[in-house]
């Protein structure tokens, strides 16, 4: 009788533990939550679908299914540079010889790939080094492979004085070589 009592107690304890564990597992996996990503209440969508829905909302809910395109910044025509706004997002490789200045239009981006460059500025302000998050004033050196943003016209880069090697620069936006 004593042994039967122990077996029955063991069965109840083990059964109760399994039951409690299964309840805890359901809550841990979120089975009771109805707004999980991927369910009918919260479907997962692609970026293109969201872009399409935004375009439809902007156009007044029309049934347009065109894919949105990135806006292009306008550029000013310049000698040796970009002359139309569709080319503003294109990257061009530009070679700057010693004694020449690569002057950017407002909003243009440069990346110096090779050579030793310094910032050229007609005023006391400089350009934004987006890689380091700092401002580089006129005459200061430019670190290679850093993204530079030229907020206004009249600023640019040139070969550091005393160097005889050309600069190789990636340019996105309007520019001219002086």
Question: Which pLDDT value is given to residue 37?
Answer: 66
Q: What is the pTM of this model?
A: 0.50
Q: Is residue 163 exposed (0-12), middle (13-18) or buried (19+ Cβ within 10 Å)?
A: middle
Range 85-177 has CATH code 2.60.120: yes
* Cα distances (angstroms) measured from residue 43 to each of 21, 38, 39, 40, 149: 30, 4, 5, 6, 39
Instruction: Kindly give the confidence (pLDDT) of every residue in the chain, 178 residues in length, as a single tens digit, with 9 standing for 90 and above.
Output: 667 878 888 888 888 888 877 776 665 555 555 566 667 667 777 888 888 888 888 886 554 444 444 444 444 444 455 444 455 578 888 988 998 889 888 888 888 888 888 888 887 788 888 888 888 888 888 888 898 888 888 888 988 888 888 888 999 888 888 8
Evaluate whether 100 touches 140 at the Cβ level (below 8 Å). Answer: no
Q: In the chain, which segments carry CATH 2.60.120? A: 85-177
Question: Which pLDDT value is given to residue 74?
Answer: 45
Question: Which pLDDT value is given to residue 27?
Answer: 56
Question: Which pLDDT value is given to residue 15?
Answer: 86
Question: Which pLDDT value is given to residue 75?
Answer: 42
């Amino acid at each position: 009788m004593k042994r039967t009592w122990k077996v029955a107690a063991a069965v109840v304890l083990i059964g109760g533990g399994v039951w409690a564990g299964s309840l805890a597992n359901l809550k841990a996996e979120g089975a009771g939550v109805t707004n999980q990503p991927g369910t009918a209440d919260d479907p997962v969508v692609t970026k293109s679908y969201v872009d399409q829905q935004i375009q439809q909302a902007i156009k007044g809910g029309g049934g347009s299914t065109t894919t949105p395109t990135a806006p292009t910044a306008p550029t000013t025509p310049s000698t040796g540079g970009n002359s139309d706004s569709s080319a503003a997002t294109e990257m061009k490789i530009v070679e700057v010889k010693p004694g020449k200045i690569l002057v950017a239009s407002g909003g243009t981006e440069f990346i110096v790939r090779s050579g030793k460059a310094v910032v050229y500025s007609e005023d006391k302000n400089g350009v934004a080094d987006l890689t380091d998050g700092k401002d580089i004033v006129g005459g200061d050196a430019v670190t290679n492979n850093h993204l530079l943003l030229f907020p206004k016209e009249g600023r640019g880069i040139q070969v550091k004085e005393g160097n005889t090697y050309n600069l190789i620069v990636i340019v996105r936006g309007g520019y001219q070589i002086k």
